[in-house]
Amino acid sequence: MNLGGSSFALRCLHCDAIYLPDQVSYYCPSCELDGALDLVYDYAELSRGFVQGVQSSDYFDMWRYTSVLPTSLEFTPHLHTGGSPLYKLKHSGPGRVFIKDDSRNPSGSLKDRASALAVALAAEMGVKTIAAASTGNAAAALACMSAGSGIRCVIFAPTSAAREKLAQIRAYGAEVVEVEGGYDEAFAACHAACKEHGWYNRSTGINSYMSEGKKTVAFEICEQMQWRVPDRIFVPVGNGCIVGAVYKGFHELMLMGITERMPKIMGVQASGSDFMYRAWKAGDGPHAPQALPSATSASSISVALPRDRIKALRAVEASGGEYVVVNDAQIFQAILDLARSGGVFAEPGAAAAYAGLRQWGALQPDETAVVLVTGSGLKDIGGLLGSGVLDAAKSPLRQHA
């Protein structure tokens, strides 16, 4: 592919048109919002020395993979982002299960990876204001990464967002615009404001660069497993960006010749917000933008119309994986099970991945699975307290003589 002197190009997943970075901003101009873009690199060139470059890097976070990222180290935020632990979990079922704990990132979620890249790109472009629509995690991540950068941060959050997350966002100094409705209304408000004021829009589903930050979690998993690929990886799915990025990361490792196969990607949705599950089950494709009612206590994966649905569907179908749905009761039980069996406290949306593994329940004795924990339970204490699962789990104190 002729990259015209650039280190990467952008390809429309709808019409296959190729653009150089200075020819397009957020999406394919021909296909508009249906024209999700993928960043593509010269993988043959990158394959020469990729592993050696990673292993000799002075960085122990996501920036050790800069050769496959669309920015330079000159503009990166100062916070350590990525490099999160991978734990082997003791569990009663067959196979081996690992937990990739991205709640350890600076603001407490995997979305710090995308926001770190967003702030680096904004700094590189000389942008003064960056904005995002978010149910909480992406907003907190962007506010965190923007803090101390000199870049103004404006967040559009639905009124349904967890109060803990809104408090965290404001603590970092971001301006918060609360929007009546859910994520979809916040997305529309943010999109309109960015167009009107010329702000940089970090919102996933419109900004294809955000997948690049999130894909580093796939690189890390593979490196932490000695460049071996797990058989399955369970990923919570709301807007679809994370699951799409996980696929992209593992696929790029194959394109560079680092690995020889893909993990089966298992997307997990809440039963009250299951657009991607229904699209996958029906086999109709993701292009018809028919929003579905969304009602789940797992607010971070509550999305009526996933904006990254094209990449989210591709991730599961192209890898030979499946979509799984779990109800809220299973999600809250998974929070306790993860915390008590592995010491990992996940928020409801993140715990959905572990609930999905248990619901699916077909892991073979010789298989290895990774459960991706995308956010800390400290971000939604109110949801856990309101679920009643802690009261149900109480046991009376034993009487000692």
- Our separate counts of H helices and E strands in the chain read 15, 13
Do residue 126 and residue 241 come from a single domain?
no
Q: Which of 287, 276, 223, 217 is nearest to 245 (CA)?
A: 217
Q: How many domains does the chain have?
A: 3
Do residue 103 and residue 174 come from a single domain?
no
Do residue 101 and residue 150 come from a single domain?
no
- Which of 172-176, 239-243, 286-290 has the weakest average pLDDT? 286-290
Query: What distances in angstroms separate CA 232 from CA 4, 97, 325, one per listed residue?
Result: 37, 10, 16
Q: How far apart are CA 320 and CA 337, in angstroms?
A: 28
CATH of the domain at 331: 3.40.50.1100
Do residue 231 and residue 192 come from a single domain?
no
The model's pTM: 0.94
Q: Taking all residues of the chain, what is their mean pLDDT, rounded to a whole number?
A: 92
Query: Is 48 inside a domain boundary?
Result: yes
Q: Supply φ then ψ for residue 211, to 5 degrees.
A: -60, -30
Close Cβ partners of 377 (under 8 Å, ≥ 6 residues apart)? 103, 335, 339, 345, 346, 347, 350, 351, 384
Do residue 241 and residue 289 come from a single domain?
yes
Do residue 268 and residue 327 come from a single domain?
yes
Do residue 116 and residue 234 come from a single domain?
no
Distance in angstroms between the alpha carbons of the first and the last residue of the chain: 78
Query: Is 398 inside a domain boundary?
Result: no
Longest dimension (CA), the chain: 80
Last residue of one domain, picked from the residues 151, 182, 201: 201
Confidence at residue 1, expressed as pLDDT on a 0 to 100 scale: 55
Greater model confidence, 181 or 334: 334
Confidence at residue 3, expressed as pLDDT on a 0 to 100 scale: 62
Q: How far apart are CA 13 and CA 15, in angstroms?
A: 6
Do residue 131 and residue 263 come from a single domain?
no
Q: Which of 2, 3, 30 is nearest to 15 (CA)?
A: 30
Close Cβ partners of 105 (under 8 Å, ≥ 6 residues apart)? 81, 82, 84, 112, 113, 141
Confidence at residue 387, expressed as pLDDT on a 0 to 100 scale: 86
| Segments forming the whole domain that contains residue 143 | 112-201
Instruction: Using the predicted structure, report yes or no on whether residue 285 has a pLDDT greater than 90.
Output: no
Close Cβ partners of 334 (under 8 Å, ≥ 6 residues apart)? 326, 346, 351, 352, 354, 355, 358
Query: What distances in angstroms separate CA 171 from CA 190, 211, 221, one per listed residue?
Result: 21, 26, 31
Q: Residues 249, 265: contact at Cβ < 8 Å?
A: no
Query: What distances in angstroms separate CA 114 from CA 49, 263, 317, 341, 376, one per listed residue?
Result: 25, 22, 24, 29, 17
Do residue 96 and residue 48 come from a single domain?
no
Report DSSP state, residue 174: -
Query: Is 332 inside a domain boundary?
Result: yes
Taking residues 46-50, report their average pLDDT.
Answer: 91
Helices 216-224 and 241-255: angle between axes, nearest 10 degrees:
60
Instruction: Using the predicted structure, report yes or no on whether residue 144 has a pLDDT greater than 50.
Output: yes
Do residue 289 and residue 376 come from a single domain?
yes
